[in-house]
Amino acid sequence: MKAYLDLLRDVRSRGEARDDRTGVGTVGIFGAQIRFDLSRGFPLVTTKKVHTRSIVQELLWFLGGRTDNGWLRERGVTIWDEWSTAEQCARFGRKEGDLGPIYGHQWRNFGATLKPGGAYADDGFDQISAVIAEIRRNPCSRRLIVSGWNPAEADKVALPPCHTLFQFYVGGNGRLSCQLYQRSADLFLGVPFNIASYALLTHMVAQVCGLGVGEFVHTFGDAHIYRNHFEQVELQLSREPRPLPTLRLNPAVKDIFAFRFEDIAIENYDPHPAIKAPVAV
């Protein structure tokens, strides 16, 4: 995870001080990129403990096209709680726990018709199914793209998509790579989750398409550290990284939508203790 830690260190040392929507304030840079060779271990931060259950369940939630926080809470995942309160949801006309047309909706039902009462018809475009079909049919395609950003709905959600668009690439060696563009990146709290989530997604898509894994490339727009995370960042950077864990998927799963929590295991994860920090809403 040297690339991530180097980025964290770089932003901490030379980031520009900026105001932000949350009122907390940040230091940040615009435009950065880090890369991970997925054949060399699963890129999960070891300089602090990360809640792996949350990463896996959130990705399954996205892939299921879900947008209700209740599904996550039933599975012991609370990472969306701050955005799903009655007060937050009321700002865009939804009930408590209904996050609006966020990632899962855009991935699986992009452009769907909004019905009276706030529900959506099942008439949108399933980007995940389409991109997997295209990888299988035409692996050299340069159109293997999924977008979580729908400008028409960006102001109708609890939190507009931070990780906005990703593209797959099949190399001549039969290995699948993925590049993510993230418009807004909370480097201390959010980015370790994002790296692991998209690395996991790349492994899952590779398996169902009969491919090996290549790289995960993470490209950033506004990469920032919140002012109330400075002490936590310094603590994390003082720690020595440990060996990366490994990912094990149930090899019998050949359908991306058939994966269950029990089919995914992150093994030999031996991180330093967790570092708590407030989330900016």
Catalytic residue set: 162
How many Å apart are CA 99 and CA 157, to the nearest integer?
6
Binding-site residue numbers are 21, 51, 142-143, 183-186, 194, 224-226, 280
Counting Cβ atoms within 10 Å, is residue 71 exposed (0-12), middle (13-18) or buried (19+)? middle
Q: What number of other Cβ atoms are within 10 A of residue 86's Cβ?
A: 10
